[in-house]
Structure 1
Amino acid sequence: MDITVDNKTIIVFDLDDTLYNEIEFLKSAYREIAQNLEKENWPSLYIKMFSLYRNKIDVFEFIHKHYKVAKSTLITEYREHKPDIKLFEGVLETLQKIKINKGKIGLITDGRQKTQTNKIEALGLTPFLDCIVISQEIGTEKPHQNNYKILESTFGKGAYYYIGDNLKKDFITPNALGWNTIGIMDNGLNIHNDAYLYQGEKYSPKVFISSYLDLSITHER
């Protein structure tokens, strides 16, 4: 897909499972918790934790029972740890090309301010972002119109693009606002895998791409 970018182009991204796989955040947190509890044999504990998660068994209840750590402590460590996560292939090059062509970049993400900020910093996104909207900071979550209108208030008139992954909530509002919408196809690792429940024009992006290698950023008019 080709996107022509100039100083009136605003490209807005979701974060989790759009710019990286959110499961990698979970794995990063589990590794840190396991390393804190088992200095020498942490891989064995990590493997057990991840297996419990995949079988929908309460991981933190298991840790609480066997290591006498309060679940509230584990939840805080999970949410506030500094994650070891990486951008999808092609994301960095896409961001660089948008900036080279004078485009603006926004981010809309649901979650806690501390957690999402740690992810943004770990991924090296901060220097590229002209506007960041985190749901906890503004008090509304997608698909609330407020989360998207902040971008329009910030940048004014222009050609808006929204890139996301979650059919349940990502595309309803930008579609209604007349934005161009692009969906990143699930690579089999997405946390939210209930797309079959949200079919139809209301929920779907205008275009799906399988990866950022399918995007071409140009400056030609």
Structure 2
Amino acid sequence: MKGKYVIFDLDDTLMYEIDYLESAYREIASLLDEHNKDHLYQDMITWYYENKDVFGLLEEKYSRAKIELLDIYRNHFPVIKIGKDVREVFNYIIQNSYKLGLISDGRSVTQRNKLKALDIEDFFDKIIISEEFGSTKPDLRNFEIFMDNENFEYFYIGDNTKKDFIAPNKLGWVTIALKDAGKNIHKQDFDVAQEHKPQFIVNSLKEIVNLIN
């Protein structure tokens, strides 16, 4: 019987990227205006949802905004939490001696800080982050690196129909999309070419347990 390798995307799959954004905005608001940080934070969130240039508006309002807002956004240690579903699924995977992997596009410090804040970094047998690895999804290499043993069945769980499922579909993996519950930064579109489509769509991560059995 083949072993099982269950590999996840990070942003908007294991955590909501909007939670990271909100954490960064709170950090920036506190640095720019400690006495009015809550009001400034609310302004920033409003600007964001109005599709305005948040950092540009901050630079107009605060001369000290030249303190590299983008660097603060990318490098801050976020205040974020892992969902109950993620813990339950990870526990199931570990209890059944399946292997656990992660493929995530992004900067090393940003993605590693997310994993540390969520307290899940040590769960994974292998982590591929694009800046560290040198290529981004849907490059086949980001996925093939996991295929060092032919005695495994591979599962990939993601959310982004533009790039998440192309490579694992080509490699014959089981591909699963976590349906957007209305919080994803990048909106899903399942009306795409066949190579972009996941084989399964779930409403919660707990549903993947039945698919990997």
- TM-score where L is the length of structure 2: 0.93
2:156, 2:176 within 8 Å by CA — same for their partners in 1?
yes
Determine which of 163, 174, 199 is the counterpart of 2:192.
199
**Residues 53-104 of structure 1: per-residue CA shift (max 9 Å, x gap):** 1111111111111111355611010000011112233111100111111111
- SS of residue in 2 equivalent to 1:195: coil
Residue equivalent to 2:184: 190
Determine which of 129, 144, 152 is the counterpart of 1:149.
144
Stretch deviating more after TM superposition (85-94 or 123-132):
85-94
Determine which of 35, 55, 60 is the counterpart of 1:60.
55
Q: How many residues align?
A: 213
Answering whether residue 97 of structure 2 is matched by residue 102 of structure 1, we say yes
- SS of residue in 2 equivalent to 1:20: coil
* Cα distance change, pair 208–218 in 1 and its aligned pair in 2 (3 A): closer
* Cα distance change, pair 194–10 in 1 and its aligned pair in 2 (3 A): closer
Letter in 2 for 1:88: G
RMSD of equivalent CA atoms:
2.0
Letter in 1 for 2:113: N
Residue equivalent to 1:164: 158
Determine which of 175, 179, 201 is the counterpart of 1:208.
201
Whole-angstrom CA distance in 1 between matches of 2:157 and 2:212:
19
Residue equivalent to 1:3: none
Residue equivalent to 1:137: 132
2:88, 2:206 within 8 Å by CA — same for their partners in 1?
no
Answering whether residue 11 of structure 2 is matched by residue 16 of structure 1, we say yes
Letter in 2 for 1:127: D
* Cα distance change, pair 71–112 in 1 and its aligned pair in 2 (3 A): farther
Whole-angstrom CA distance in 1 between matches of 2:66 and 2:54:
10
- TM-score where L is the length of structure 1: 0.90
Stretch deviating more after TM superposition (69-78 or 155-164):
69-78
Whole-angstrom CA distance in 2 between matches of 1:117 and 1:185:
24
Q: How far apart are residue 200 of structure 1 and its match?
A: 3.5
1:10, 1:104 within 8 Å by CA — same for their partners in 2?
yes
- SS of residue in 2 equivalent to 1:166: coil
Whole-angstrom CA distance in 2 between matches of 1:219 and 1:144:
24
**Residues 107-144 of structure 1: per-residue CA shift (max 9 Å, x gap):** 00000000000011111111211100000112111000
Letter in 2 for 1:213: K
Whole-angstrom CA distance in 2 between matches of 1:16 and 1:9:
23
Residue equivalent to 2:38: 43
**Residues 136-166 of structure 1: per-residue CA shift (max 9 Å, x gap):** 112111000010011113x553010000000
Q: Which runs of 5+ in 1 are unaligned?
A: 1-5
Whole-angstrom CA distance in 2 between matches of 1:138 and 1:51:
36
